[in-house]
Structure 1
Amino acid sequence: MSTRLNCTAFGLALLAASPLACAAESAVMEVTLSIENSCGITAQPLSFGRSQDLSRNLDAESSVSVACSSRGPIQIAFDMGAGNGATVDARKLSFGAETVSYSLFLDSSRSTVLGDGSIGNIISATSSGGIDVFPIYGRVFGGQGVKPVGAYADVVTATLTF
Structure 2
Amino acid sequence: MKLRHTLTLALLAAPAFAIAAPAPATDTMQVSLDLTNRCTVEVDDLNFGVHNTLASDLETKSEFRVRCTGISPSLLLNFSAGGSGNAMDRQMTDGAGNSIRYTLSTIQGWGQVTNHGFYGFGQNLTWPLFAKIPGGQNPKASGTYADNLVATVTF
TM over 0.5: yes
Q: Which residue of 2 aligns with 1:26?
A: none
- Structure 2 residue corresponding to 1:126, chosen from 120, 123, 129: 120
Q: Which amino acid aligns with 1:71?
A: I
- Structure 1 residue corresponding to 2:153, chosen from 120, 138, 160: 160
Q: Which residue of 2 aligns with 1:90?
A: 89
Q: Which whole-Å deviations, capped at 9, do the CAs of 1:105-126 have from their partners, x for residues lacking one?
A: 1211234x220xxxxx423222
Q: Is this contact kept in 2: 1:61–1:136, CA < 8 A?
A: yes
Deviation at 1:86, TM superposition (A): 4.6
Q: Which whole-Å deviations, capped at 9, do the CAs of 1:44-64 have from their partners, x for residues lacking one?
A: 000111110100000000111
Q: Which amino acid aligns with 2:80?
A: D
- Say whether residues 1:75 and 2:68 are aligned partners: no
Q: Is this contact kept in 2: 1:110–1:138, CA < 8 A?
A: no
Q: Which residue of 2 aligns with 1:104?
A: 104
- Say whether residues 1:138 and 2:143 are aligned partners: no
CA RMSD of aligned residues (A): 1.9
CA distance in 1 between counterparts of 2:85 and 2:131 reads: 15
Deviation at 1:134, TM superposition (A): 1.4
Q: Which whole-Å deviations, capped at 9, do the CAs of 1:65-117 have from their partners, x for residues lacking one?
A: 111112212111111112xx452122011002100000101211234x220xx
Where structure 1 has 5 or more consecutive residues not aligned to the other structure, the ranges are 1-31, 116-120
Alpha-carbon distance change, 79 to 101 in structure 1, aligned in 2, over 3 angstroms: same
Once the two structures are superposed, the pairs formed by residues 10-21 of structure 1 within 5 Å of their partners are none
Alpha-carbon distance change, 74 to 81 in structure 1, aligned in 2, over 3 angstroms: same
- Give the share of equivalent positions with the same residue, in percent: 25
Q: Is this contact kept in 2: 1:68–1:127, CA < 8 A?
A: no
